[in-house]
Amino acid sequence: MSLVNVHNEWDPVEEIIVGTALHAVMPHEDKGFQVIQQASHDLFDSLVPGALPQRIIDETEEDIQHFVEELEKLHIQVRRPKAIEFKEKFKTLDWEAEHYFSYCPRDILLAVGGTIIETPNVFRSRYFETFEYKDILLDYMKSGSRWISAPKPRLLDELYNDSDPSQSALRNLEPVFDAANVLRAGRDIFYLVSDSGNELGCQWLQNALGEEYRVHPCHNLYSSMHIDTTICLLRPGLALINPSRVSKDNLPPLLKDWDIVTAPDMVEFKYSDLGSFSTAWLGMNLLMLAPNLAVVDKHQLPLIKLLEKQGIETIPLMLRHGRTLGGGFHCITLDVRRKGKLEDYFS
Ligand code: ABU
């Protein structure tokens, strides 16, 4: 039976991939990385490029190890990528780049139903990232999962808009998107159109998933990277929103009959001066392990209280350097199998 079988963001998790900080490097020259970071300069502090200090790697691995132990206590099958140390830059016909990391499987692989998709990511430095998951992907394919890869984007300079700040930093020249621009809700798939996912990416995804699914482009929600610090689908009929980005005016119309809870201000914390590639809203980047159980950043006590009021128990854990690396508990995981079946939650 296919080891990949997942239909939403909340059913009980049976198998999950958890990323690693080993060999993480903040790339020096990556046009996409630079342009998108520049476009979001009011959101992120500038990052120090180069290999991350060993302390940051070690503390992150320690935090991830605690997280994995909690998952295993719940009898969830955990798989980890094999981080490759890219000692040299790599080249395509058009450009060269340094390899980034394998910390966020959520960005590069998308699991929908029995299919796992290698997505056409926006950063050049992620071009070969799925190599680190090859053994896992092979196992999934052998079990009967459908393993596909989106067309490799060329990521030419003209894809990135660095001249007109009133437009997206990502032009619509070829399908490009990070898997973290997507949220799954049964037959309905939310797709954030932003600097990390363009319209052609949305169209490609709809074509790839076929008529069984409806992919909904979400505009004017958040212009920067990823949807999972903007909206969290907690269980059928209940979503958490980021009040600095979402209001009744731009709430995706599909959610209009759902109960909406508003995230409280995030608690800020700092374990290094290395800068950040995410906003304080990374604190709401939680992972639902079941409709009544979430893994949440342990600093976010007001959020934990709010979830508990909604009948959601929490496992408070920490990723001390999550903001520097740009990933919380949703970002650093890819839930590939959850109990449950394909359903329609909006009719
Ligand atoms: N990787 C998610 C970052 C999004 C945010 O900073 O809000």
H or E stretch covering 337: strand 333-338
Quick one: pLDDT band at residue 274, thresholds 50, 70, 90? confident
Establish whether 23 is a catalytic residue: no
Whether 75 is catalytic is no
Considering only residues 285 and 49, tell me which one the structure prediction assigns the higher pLDDT. 285
The predicted-structure confidence for 104-146, as pLDDT tens digits, reads as follows: 999 999 999 999 999 999 999 999 999 999 999 999 999 999 9
For position 121, what pLDDT does the model report?
98
Please give the distance, rounded to the nearest whole angstrom, from the Cα atom of residue 226 to the centre of ligand 1.
6
State the pLDDT at residue 182: 98
pLDDT at 101 over 90: yes
Cα four-point dihedral sign 123, 127, 132, 133: positive
Catalytic-residue membership of 195: no
Q: Over the stretch 187-243, which tens digit does the pLDDT of each residue have?
A: 999 999 999 999 999 999 999 999 999 999 999 999 999 999 999 999 999 999 999
Q: How far is the CA of 1 from the centre of ligand 1 (A)?
A: 34
Both tokens assigned to 320: 């001390």
Q: Ligand 1 pocket: which of 119, 196, 229 to mutate (most atoms <8 Å of CB)?
A: 229
Catalytic residue among 63, 178, 188, 335: 178
Cα gap 198→182, rounded to integer Å: 12
CA of 2 to the centre of ligand 1 (A): 31
Query: What's the token pair of residue 15?
Result: 């198998």
Q: Does residue 72 carry a pLDDT above 80? A: yes
pLDDT band at 49 (very low <50, low <70, confident <90, very high): confident
Kindly report which listed range (30-34, 150-154, 201-205) carries the lowest average pLDDT score.
Answer: 30-34
Out of 226, 228, 232, 335, which one is annotated catalytic?
226
Atom of ligand 1 nearest to the CA of 229: 7
Answer whether residue 46 shows pLDDT above 80.
no
> What was the pLDDT predicted at 64?
98
Record the pTM.
Answer: 0.97
Half-sphere exposure of 55 (CA within 13 A, CB side): 6
Q: Whose CA is nearest to atom 3 of ligand 1?
A: 278
Ligand 1: lining residues by beta carbon, under 6 Å = 225-226, 229, 278-279, 281-282, 326-327, 331
| Confidence at residue 41, expressed as pLDDT on a 0 to 100 scale | 74
Cα 190 to middle of ligand 1, angstroms: 17
Q: Distance of alpha carbon 244 from its chain centroid, rounded?
A: 19
Q: Are 205 and 188 in contact (CB under 8 A)?
A: no
If DSSP codes are grouped into helix, strand and coil, which group holds residue 65? helix
Q: What is the pLDDT of residue 224?
A: 94
The mean pLDDT value of the chain amounts to 96
State the alpha helices, DSSP H only, in 175-273. Answer: 199-209
pLDDT at residue 29, rounded to an integer: 83
What integer is the mean pLDDT of 301-318? 98
Q: What percent of the chain has pLDDT over 70?
A: 100
Catalytic: which of 202, 218, 331, 335?
331
- Give the pLDDT score at 322: 97
